[in-house]
Structure 1
Amino acid sequence: MEQSPLDTLIALREQELDLVERSFAEAVARETAAEEKLSAAQEEILSEQRIASSPTAGDGAVEAFSRWLPAGRQAVAEAQARCREAALDRETVRSALIIARAAMEAVKTLKEERQEEEQLAELKKEQNALDELAIRQFSQS
């Protein structure tokens, strides 16, 4: 059986949807990884702060913490930036996913409508054939 143009389009839309779904999963994974790095950077600052503010910590620990803190804050700022970028990427791919799903649904709906139209045309042909047969039989009697 020959494949209709709509069947070909559905196959292409399925491939596109699959690709976009994989891209979305990857974007979510990147965002999750960025959030984990941010959390780790924030936790490292808290951990270093606890160590420096410990009653047993000496002046050297406090000084080391104060020298390290700008680097720790920079790491947090960079991780926050990566989180924002990853969230934007995810939203961009999410939009593409919504569009791909809508395109797929549109093609499937069109195919269903065409099938219904073909069925109606076939039923009309059958009804016309029955009407013609009835007219012949009535005219012969």
Structure 2
Amino acid sequence: MERSPLDTLITLREQELDVVERNFADAVAREAAAEEKLAAVQEEILNEQRIASSPTAGDGAVEAFSRWLPLGRKAVADAQARCREAALDRETVRSALIAARAAMEAVKTLRDEQKEEERQAGLRKEQNVLDELAVRQFGRS
């Protein structure tokens, strides 16, 4: 049986959808990794703050923390920026995923409509043959 152009288009849409779904999974993974990094950097600041504020910490620990804190804050800001970028990337790919799914559904709907039209045409043709036989056999019109 010969493939219709719509079947070929469905195959292409399936391939496109597979690619976009993989891209979306990758984007979600990148976002999760960025969020984990942010949580780790924030936890590092809290740990350093606990050490510096412990009753046994000397002036050197407090001074070291105060010198290190701007670097820790910069690391948090950088991690937050990566989280925002990853979220934007995920949303962009999510939009592409929605579009790819809609395109796939549109082509499948077209194919289903075409098959239904072909079925209806076949039924009409069959009915016409039956009507013609009835006219011939019974002389009715």
Given the two structures, how large is their TM-score scaled by the length of structure 2? Answer: 0.98
Q: Structure 2 stretches of 5 or more lacking a match? A: none
Partner of 2:31: 31
Partner of 2:45: 45
Partner of 1:90: 90
For 1:4 and 1:117, locate their aligned partners in 2 and report how far apart those are by CA, in whole Å: 14
For 2:123 and 2:2, locate their aligned partners in 1 and report how far apart those are by CA, in whole Å: 23
For 1:86 and 1:93, locate their aligned partners in 2 and report how far apart those are by CA, in whole Å: 11
Alignment of 1:16-27 (within 5 A): 16-27=16-27
Per the TM alignment, residue 19 of structure 1 is displaced from its structure 2 partner at its CA by: 0.1
For 2:125 and 2:98, locate their aligned partners in 1 and report how far apart those are by CA, in whole Å: 41
Partner of 1:123: 123
Segments of 4+ moved more than 4 angstroms: none
For 2:138 and 2:27, locate their aligned partners in 1 and report how far apart those are by CA, in whole Å: 72
For 1:116 and 1:3, locate their aligned partners in 2 and report how far apart those are by CA, in whole Å: 17
Per the TM alignment, residue 2 of structure 1 is displaced from its structure 2 partner at its CA by: 1.2
- Over aligned residue pairs, what C-alpha RMSD do you find? 0.8
Aligned residue pairs, count:
140
Partner of 2:109: 109
Given the two structures, how large is their TM-score scaled by the length of structure 1? Answer: 0.98
| CA offsets 1:55-113 (integer angstroms, 9 cap, x no match) | 00000000000000000000000000000000000000000000000000000000000
For 2:85 and 2:119, locate their aligned partners in 1 and report how far apart those are by CA, in whole Å: 51
| CA offsets 1:26-72 (integer angstroms, 9 cap, x no match) | 00000000000000000000000000000000000000000000000
For 1:35 and 1:139, locate their aligned partners in 2 and report how far apart those are by CA, in whole Å: 83
For 1:139 and 1:45, locate their aligned partners in 2 and report how far apart those are by CA, in whole Å: 98
Partner of 1:55: 55
| CA offsets 1:105-126 (integer angstroms, 9 cap, x no match) | 0000000000000000000000
Q: Structure 1 stretches of 5 or more lacking a match? A: none
For 2:33 and 2:101, locate their aligned partners in 1 and report how far apart those are by CA, in whole Å: 27
What is the identity percentage for the equivalent residue pairs of Structure 1 and Structure 2?
82
For 1:109 and 1:87, locate their aligned partners in 2 and report how far apart those are by CA, in whole Å: 33
Partner of 2:66: 66
